Amino acid sequence: MNIRETREAWEETYLSPYAALSGRTQGRDRKEEPCDIRTEYQRDRDRILHCKAFRRLKHKTQVFLAPEGDHYRTRLTHTLEVAQIARTISRSLRLNEDLTEAIALGHDLGHTPFGHSGEQILNELCPYGFAHYQQSVRVVEVLEKDGKGLNLTKEVRDGILNHRTSGHPSTLEGGVVRLSDKIAYINHDIDDAIRARIFTEEEIPSEYTKVLGHSVRERLNTMIHDIIYQSMDQPKILMSPGMEEAMQGLRSWLFQHVYKNEVPKAEEGRAQQLIVSLYRYYMEHVIELPEEYLLMMVQQNESKERVVCDYIAGMSDSYAIDRFEQLFVPKAWKVY
Protein backbone atom coordinates (compact mmCIF):
# COMPACT_ATOMS: atom_id res chain seq x y z
CA MET A 1 0.00 0.00 0.00
CA ASN A 2 1.19 3.53 -0.79
CA ILE A 3 0.86 6.47 1.62
CA ARG A 4 -2.57 7.54 0.30
CA GLU A 5 -3.97 4.04 0.61
CA THR A 6 -2.62 3.77 4.14
CA ARG A 7 -4.39 7.01 5.04
CA GLU A 8 -7.63 5.84 3.46
CA ALA A 9 -7.44 2.61 5.46
CA TRP A 10 -6.87 4.63 8.64
CA GLU A 11 -9.98 6.69 7.89
CA GLU A 12 -12.04 3.52 7.43
CA THR A 13 -10.94 2.29 10.85
CA TYR A 14 -10.86 5.39 13.02
CA LEU A 15 -13.23 8.02 11.66
CA SER A 16 -16.87 8.32 12.67
CA PRO A 17 -19.40 6.23 10.72
CA TYR A 18 -20.91 9.59 9.73
CA ALA A 19 -17.65 10.98 8.29
CA ALA A 20 -17.07 11.46 4.56
CA LEU A 21 -14.27 9.03 3.71
CA SER A 22 -11.66 10.03 1.16
CA GLY A 23 -11.74 6.61 -0.50
CA ARG A 24 -15.48 6.88 -1.10
CA THR A 25 -15.65 10.34 -2.64
CA GLN A 26 -18.18 10.97 -5.40
CA GLY A 27 -15.20 12.11 -7.43
CA ARG A 28 -14.40 14.92 -9.83
CA ASP A 29 -16.07 16.05 -13.04
CA ARG A 30 -12.87 15.13 -14.91
CA LYS A 31 -11.33 11.85 -13.86
CA GLU A 32 -7.71 12.01 -12.66
CA GLU A 33 -5.15 9.48 -11.62
CA PRO A 34 -5.01 9.31 -7.79
CA CYS A 35 -1.98 10.68 -5.96
CA ASP A 36 0.29 8.16 -4.24
CA ILE A 37 0.76 10.47 -1.22
CA ARG A 38 -2.35 12.59 -0.72
CA THR A 39 -6.02 11.68 -0.44
CA GLU A 40 -8.52 13.36 -2.76
CA TYR A 41 -9.58 15.89 -0.12
CA GLN A 42 -5.96 16.71 0.70
CA ARG A 43 -5.38 17.45 -2.98
CA ASP A 44 -8.41 19.75 -3.02
CA ARG A 45 -7.16 21.63 0.01
CA ASP A 46 -3.76 22.12 -1.60
CA ARG A 47 -5.26 23.31 -4.89
CA ILE A 48 -7.30 25.95 -3.09
CA LEU A 49 -4.30 27.12 -1.06
CA HIS A 50 -2.23 27.57 -4.21
CA CYS A 51 -4.87 29.25 -6.39
CA LYS A 52 -4.81 32.94 -7.27
CA ALA A 53 -8.25 33.67 -5.83
CA PHE A 54 -7.09 32.52 -2.40
CA ARG A 55 -4.11 34.89 -2.44
CA ARG A 56 -6.33 37.83 -3.36
CA LEU A 57 -8.37 37.38 -0.18
CA LYS A 58 -5.65 39.15 1.80
CA HIS A 59 -6.67 42.45 0.21
CA LYS A 60 -10.46 42.01 0.39
CA THR A 61 -12.63 43.64 3.03
CA GLN A 62 -14.25 41.60 5.79
CA VAL A 63 -16.31 44.37 7.47
CA PHE A 64 -14.24 47.55 7.73
CA LEU A 65 -13.34 49.17 4.42
CA ALA A 66 -9.70 50.33 4.28
CA PRO A 67 -9.24 50.34 8.08
CA GLU A 68 -6.28 52.21 9.54
CA GLY A 69 -4.65 49.50 11.58
CA ASP A 70 -2.87 46.19 11.11
CA HIS A 71 -5.16 44.06 13.27
CA TYR A 72 -8.54 44.29 11.56
CA ARG A 73 -9.70 41.14 9.81
CA THR A 74 -9.50 40.71 6.07
CA ARG A 75 -11.32 38.09 4.06
CA LEU A 76 -8.16 35.95 4.26
CA THR A 77 -7.77 36.07 8.03
CA HIS A 78 -11.48 35.35 8.39
CA THR A 79 -11.05 32.29 6.17
CA LEU A 80 -8.13 31.02 8.22
CA GLU A 81 -10.08 31.51 11.46
CA VAL A 82 -13.04 29.58 10.05
CA ALA A 83 -10.70 26.76 9.05
CA GLN A 84 -9.17 26.62 12.54
CA ILE A 85 -12.57 26.47 14.27
CA ALA A 86 -13.92 23.92 11.80
CA ARG A 87 -10.88 21.67 12.13
CA THR A 88 -11.16 21.68 15.92
CA ILE A 89 -14.80 20.61 15.74
CA SER A 90 -14.23 17.99 13.03
CA ARG A 91 -11.29 16.45 14.84
CA SER A 92 -13.30 16.18 18.05
CA LEU A 93 -16.19 14.52 16.20
CA ARG A 94 -13.84 12.18 14.29
CA LEU A 95 -14.96 13.64 10.97
CA ASN A 96 -12.75 14.12 7.92
CA GLU A 97 -10.52 17.02 8.84
CA ASP A 98 -9.06 17.31 5.32
CA LEU A 99 -12.48 17.71 3.72
CA THR A 100 -13.48 20.20 6.41
CA GLU A 101 -10.38 22.29 5.82
CA ALA A 102 -10.78 22.27 2.04
CA ILE A 103 -14.36 23.54 2.30
CA ALA A 104 -13.39 26.18 4.86
CA LEU A 105 -10.48 27.50 2.80
CA GLY A 106 -12.63 27.72 -0.33
CA HIS A 107 -15.89 29.01 1.08
CA ASP A 108 -15.27 32.73 0.42
CA LEU A 109 -13.20 32.61 -2.77
CA GLY A 110 -16.00 34.32 -4.70
CA HIS A 111 -16.34 37.34 -2.45
CA THR A 112 -16.22 40.74 -4.11
CA PRO A 113 -14.04 43.71 -3.22
CA PHE A 114 -15.49 45.85 -0.41
CA GLY A 115 -17.27 43.03 1.40
CA HIS A 116 -21.02 42.54 1.30
CA SER A 117 -21.54 46.06 -0.05
CA GLY A 118 -19.70 44.96 -3.20
CA GLU A 119 -21.77 41.79 -3.36
CA GLN A 120 -24.99 43.78 -3.03
CA ILE A 121 -24.22 46.19 -5.86
CA LEU A 122 -23.00 43.45 -8.22
CA ASN A 123 -26.23 41.58 -7.55
CA GLU A 124 -28.10 44.67 -8.74
CA LEU A 125 -25.88 45.24 -11.77
CA CYS A 126 -25.50 41.74 -13.13
CA PRO A 127 -28.58 40.50 -15.03
CA TYR A 128 -27.86 36.98 -13.73
CA GLY A 129 -27.72 38.17 -10.12
CA PHE A 130 -24.74 37.64 -7.87
CA ALA A 131 -24.19 35.69 -4.65
CA HIS A 132 -20.74 35.08 -3.24
CA TYR A 133 -21.36 31.41 -2.41
CA GLN A 134 -22.34 30.71 -6.02
CA GLN A 135 -19.39 32.73 -7.27
CA SER A 136 -17.04 30.74 -5.01
CA VAL A 137 -18.13 27.57 -6.82
CA ARG A 138 -17.73 29.31 -10.18
CA VAL A 139 -14.19 30.30 -9.21
CA VAL A 140 -13.14 26.70 -8.56
CA GLU A 141 -15.12 25.19 -11.45
CA VAL A 142 -14.50 27.76 -14.21
CA LEU A 143 -12.35 30.79 -13.46
CA GLU A 144 -9.16 29.33 -12.02
CA LYS A 145 -6.41 27.91 -14.24
CA ASP A 146 -7.40 29.90 -17.33
CA GLY A 147 -10.93 28.58 -17.53
CA LYS A 148 -10.14 24.98 -16.64
CA GLY A 149 -11.06 25.28 -12.96
CA LEU A 150 -9.53 23.31 -10.12
CA ASN A 151 -11.55 20.15 -10.78
CA LEU A 152 -12.40 19.68 -7.10
CA THR A 153 -14.38 16.80 -5.68
CA LYS A 154 -18.15 17.10 -5.50
CA GLU A 155 -18.12 17.07 -1.68
CA VAL A 156 -15.88 20.13 -1.48
CA ARG A 157 -17.93 22.06 -4.02
CA ASP A 158 -21.14 21.12 -2.23
CA GLY A 159 -19.74 22.39 1.09
CA ILE A 160 -18.65 25.68 -0.49
CA LEU A 161 -22.05 26.22 -2.10
CA ASN A 162 -23.97 25.41 1.07
CA HIS A 163 -21.97 27.29 3.69
CA ARG A 164 -24.60 30.06 3.77
CA THR A 165 -27.17 30.24 6.56
CA SER A 166 -29.92 28.67 4.43
CA GLY A 167 -27.60 26.01 3.00
CA HIS A 168 -27.98 22.26 3.49
CA PRO A 169 -24.58 20.59 3.02
CA SER A 170 -24.61 16.94 2.02
CA THR A 171 -21.75 16.09 4.41
CA LEU A 172 -21.32 16.66 8.13
CA GLU A 173 -18.00 18.30 7.31
CA GLY A 174 -19.88 20.89 5.27
CA GLY A 175 -22.25 21.37 8.21
CA VAL A 176 -19.30 22.03 10.49
CA VAL A 177 -17.99 24.76 8.16
CA ARG A 178 -21.46 26.31 7.88
CA LEU A 179 -21.65 26.84 11.65
CA SER A 180 -17.95 27.64 12.04
CA ASP A 181 -18.32 30.51 9.57
CA LYS A 182 -20.99 32.10 11.74
CA ILE A 183 -19.09 31.50 14.96
CA ALA A 184 -16.00 33.10 13.43
CA TYR A 185 -17.55 36.23 11.98
CA ILE A 186 -19.85 36.91 14.92
CA ASN A 187 -17.00 36.83 17.43
CA HIS A 188 -14.26 38.34 15.31
CA ASP A 189 -16.48 41.13 14.00
CA ILE A 190 -17.28 41.95 17.63
CA ASP A 191 -13.54 42.05 18.33
CA ASP A 192 -12.94 44.41 15.38
CA ALA A 193 -15.89 46.60 16.38
CA ILE A 194 -14.56 46.95 19.92
CA ARG A 195 -11.15 47.81 18.46
CA ALA A 196 -12.86 50.46 16.31
CA ARG A 197 -14.61 51.79 19.45
CA ILE A 198 -18.08 51.27 18.02
CA PHE A 199 -19.16 49.72 21.32
CA THR A 200 -17.62 48.10 24.37
CA GLU A 201 -17.91 44.55 25.63
CA GLU A 202 -20.15 45.80 28.45
CA GLU A 203 -22.66 47.20 25.93
CA ILE A 204 -23.42 43.81 24.41
CA PRO A 205 -26.88 42.76 25.71
CA SER A 206 -26.64 40.56 28.79
CA GLU A 207 -29.33 38.22 27.43
CA TYR A 208 -26.65 36.99 24.99
CA THR A 209 -23.50 37.27 27.07
CA LYS A 210 -24.94 35.33 30.02
CA VAL A 211 -25.44 32.37 27.66
CA LEU A 212 -22.47 32.73 25.33
CA GLY A 213 -19.83 34.39 27.51
CA HIS A 214 -18.41 37.79 28.39
CA SER A 215 -15.45 37.91 25.99
CA VAL A 216 -14.55 36.77 22.48
CA ARG A 217 -12.49 33.96 23.97
CA GLU A 218 -15.32 32.78 26.24
CA ARG A 219 -17.87 32.89 23.44
CA LEU A 220 -15.68 30.92 21.03
CA ASN A 221 -15.00 28.32 23.71
CA THR A 222 -18.68 28.05 24.68
CA MET A 223 -20.05 27.72 21.14
CA ILE A 224 -17.41 25.25 19.97
CA HIS A 225 -17.89 23.02 23.02
CA ASP A 226 -21.67 23.14 22.58
CA ILE A 227 -21.50 21.98 18.96
CA ILE A 228 -19.09 19.17 19.81
CA TYR A 229 -21.13 17.82 22.73
CA GLN A 230 -24.47 18.17 20.94
CA SER A 231 -23.18 16.51 17.74
CA MET A 232 -21.11 13.69 19.24
CA ASP A 233 -22.09 10.38 17.59
CA GLN A 234 -25.01 12.09 15.84
CA PRO A 235 -25.82 12.13 12.11
CA LYS A 236 -26.25 15.92 12.22
CA ILE A 237 -24.25 18.95 13.30
CA LEU A 238 -26.24 20.51 16.13
CA MET A 239 -26.32 23.32 18.66
CA SER A 240 -28.44 23.24 21.80
CA PRO A 241 -31.64 25.30 21.35
CA GLY A 242 -30.71 27.93 23.93
CA MET A 243 -27.21 28.34 22.51
CA GLU A 244 -28.43 28.66 18.93
CA GLU A 245 -31.10 31.15 19.95
CA ALA A 246 -28.52 33.30 21.74
CA MET A 247 -26.13 33.11 18.77
CA GLN A 248 -28.83 34.16 16.31
CA GLY A 249 -29.91 36.96 18.63
CA LEU A 250 -26.35 38.25 18.89
CA ARG A 251 -26.01 38.02 15.11
CA SER A 252 -29.15 40.15 14.66
CA TRP A 253 -27.84 42.66 17.20
CA LEU A 254 -24.58 42.88 15.23
CA PHE A 255 -26.44 43.71 12.03
CA GLN A 256 -27.90 46.77 13.72
CA HIS A 257 -24.82 47.88 15.63
CA VAL A 258 -21.94 46.90 13.33
CA TYR A 259 -22.90 45.98 9.78
CA LYS A 260 -25.31 48.92 9.48
CA ASN A 261 -23.29 51.26 11.69
CA GLU A 262 -22.14 54.53 10.15
CA VAL A 263 -18.46 53.84 10.95
CA PRO A 264 -17.92 50.70 8.81
CA LYS A 265 -20.52 51.92 6.29
CA ALA A 266 -19.04 55.40 5.95
CA GLU A 267 -17.28 54.61 2.66
CA GLU A 268 -19.80 52.04 1.42
CA GLY A 269 -21.58 54.39 -0.98
CA ARG A 270 -18.32 55.45 -2.58
CA ALA A 271 -17.17 51.85 -2.88
CA GLN A 272 -20.41 50.85 -4.57
CA GLN A 273 -20.24 53.80 -6.97
CA LEU A 274 -16.70 52.74 -7.84
CA ILE A 275 -17.96 49.26 -8.75
CA VAL A 276 -20.82 50.74 -10.80
CA SER A 277 -18.33 52.88 -12.72
CA LEU A 278 -16.04 49.93 -13.42
CA TYR A 279 -18.93 47.73 -14.52
CA ARG A 280 -20.30 50.31 -16.94
CA TYR A 281 -16.85 51.07 -18.32
CA TYR A 282 -15.98 47.46 -19.09
CA MET A 283 -19.42 46.81 -20.52
CA GLU A 284 -18.66 49.57 -23.04
CA HIS A 285 -14.97 48.64 -23.47
CA VAL A 286 -15.05 44.87 -23.13
CA ILE A 287 -11.98 44.52 -25.36
CA GLU A 288 -9.92 45.99 -22.49
CA LEU A 289 -10.61 42.98 -20.26
CA PRO A 290 -7.65 40.65 -19.62
CA GLU A 291 -7.17 38.02 -22.32
CA GLU A 292 -8.36 35.14 -20.15
CA TYR A 293 -11.81 36.75 -19.86
CA LEU A 294 -12.01 37.47 -23.58
CA LEU A 295 -11.17 33.82 -24.28
CA MET A 296 -14.05 32.75 -22.04
CA MET A 297 -16.43 34.67 -24.29
CA VAL A 298 -15.00 33.03 -27.42
CA GLN A 299 -14.22 29.51 -26.25
CA GLN A 300 -16.94 28.98 -23.64
CA ASN A 301 -19.61 31.25 -25.10
CA GLU A 302 -19.87 33.26 -21.89
CA SER A 303 -21.83 36.51 -22.09
CA LYS A 304 -20.23 39.93 -21.81
CA GLU A 305 -22.22 40.64 -18.65
CA ARG A 306 -21.03 37.44 -17.02
CA VAL A 307 -17.31 37.94 -17.68
CA VAL A 308 -17.37 41.62 -16.67
CA CYS A 309 -18.99 40.58 -13.40
CA ASP A 310 -16.39 37.82 -12.96
CA TYR A 311 -13.54 40.27 -13.52
CA ILE A 312 -14.81 42.84 -11.04
CA ALA A 313 -15.78 40.23 -8.43
CA GLY A 314 -12.25 38.84 -8.54
CA MET A 315 -10.63 42.20 -7.83
CA SER A 316 -9.09 42.99 -4.47
CA ASP A 317 -10.07 46.29 -2.85
CA SER A 318 -6.73 47.85 -3.73
CA TYR A 319 -6.80 46.66 -7.34
CA ALA A 320 -10.36 47.97 -7.84
CA ILE A 321 -9.29 51.37 -6.51
CA ASP A 322 -6.22 51.33 -8.74
CA ARG A 323 -8.28 50.52 -11.86
CA PHE A 324 -10.73 53.30 -11.00
CA GLU A 325 -7.90 55.80 -10.60
CA GLN A 326 -6.33 54.74 -13.89
CA LEU A 327 -9.61 55.04 -15.76
CA PHE A 328 -11.34 58.03 -14.17
CA VAL A 329 -8.96 60.19 -12.12
CA PRO A 330 -7.24 62.96 -14.17
CA LYS A 331 -3.46 62.83 -14.29
CA ALA A 332 -1.24 65.85 -13.73
CA TRP A 333 0.00 67.37 -16.99
CA LYS A 334 3.72 67.77 -17.15
CA VAL A 335 6.16 69.26 -19.66
CA TYR A 336 9.48 67.48 -19.91
pLDDT in the model for residue 71: 77
Task: Yes or no: say if 334 and 284 are a contact pair by the CB < 8 Å rule.
Answer: no
pLDDT in the model for residue 72: 83
pTM score of the predicted model: 0.95
In the predicted structure, residue 45 carries a pLDDT above the cut 90: yes
In the predicted structure, residue 321 carries a pLDDT above the cut 90: yes
Both 211 and 84 in one domain: the answer is yes
Residue 25 lies in a domain: no
Model confidence at 66, in pLDDT bands (50, 70, 90)?
low
Both 251 and 316 in one domain: the answer is no
In the predicted structure, residue 68 carries a pLDDT above the cut 80: no
pLDDT tens per residue across span 103-130: 999 999 999 999 889 999 999 999 999 9
Domain termination residue (choose one: 201, 227, 259): 259
Domain termination residue (choose one: 237, 259, 281): 259
Residue 89, CB half-sphere, CA atoms under 13 Å: how many? Answer: 38
Both 120 and 54 in one domain: the answer is yes
CATH of residue 83: 1.10.3210.10
- Report angle CA 84, 90, 93 to the nearest 5 degrees: 145
> Where do the H-state alpha helices sit in the chain?
3-14, 40-50, 52-56, 75-92, 97-106, 115-125, 132-138, 154-161, 172-195, 206-212, 216-231, 241-254, 268-284, 291-299, 304-313, 317-328
From CA 136, how far away is CA 143, in angstroms rounded? 10
Residue 333 lies in a domain: no
Both 207 and 295 in one domain: the answer is no
Both 210 and 321 in one domain: the answer is no
The parent domain of residue 285 ranges over 268-328
Residue 227 lies in a domain: yes
Residue 170 lies in a domain: yes
Residue 334 lies in a domain: no
pLDDT tens per residue across span 187-243: 999 998 998 899 999 999 999 999 999 999 999 999 999 999 999 999 999 999 999
Query: Cα torsion for 306, 311, 317, 322, to the nearest 10°?
Result: -130
Residue 313 lies in a domain: yes
Both 149 and 71 in one domain: the answer is yes
Both 119 and 212 in one domain: the answer is yes
Residue 28 lies in a domain: no
Both 152 and 273 in one domain: the answer is no
Q: What is the 3-state secondary structure (H, E, C) of 250-316?
A: HHHHHHHHHHCCCCCCCCHHHHHHHHHHHHHHHHHCHHHCCHHHHHHHHHCCCCHHHHHHHHHHCCC
Contacts of 74 (CB under 8 A, 6+ apart): 57, 58, 59, 60, 61, 62
Both 275 and 126 in one domain: the answer is no
Residue 57 lies in a domain: yes
Residue 198: φ, ψ to 5°: -75, -40
Both 295 and 253 in one domain: the answer is no
| Average pLDDT over the chain, rounded to an integer | 94
In the predicted structure, residue 73 carries a pLDDT above the cut 80: yes
pLDDT tens per residue across span 17-32: 999 999 999 999 999 9
Domain termination residue (choose one: 226, 259, 292): 259
From CA 21, how far away is CA 326, in angstroms rounded? 50
Between 296 and 65, the more confident residue is 296
Q: Number of folded domains in the chain?
A: 2
Both 180 and 219 in one domain: the answer is yes
Both 109 and 243 in one domain: the answer is yes
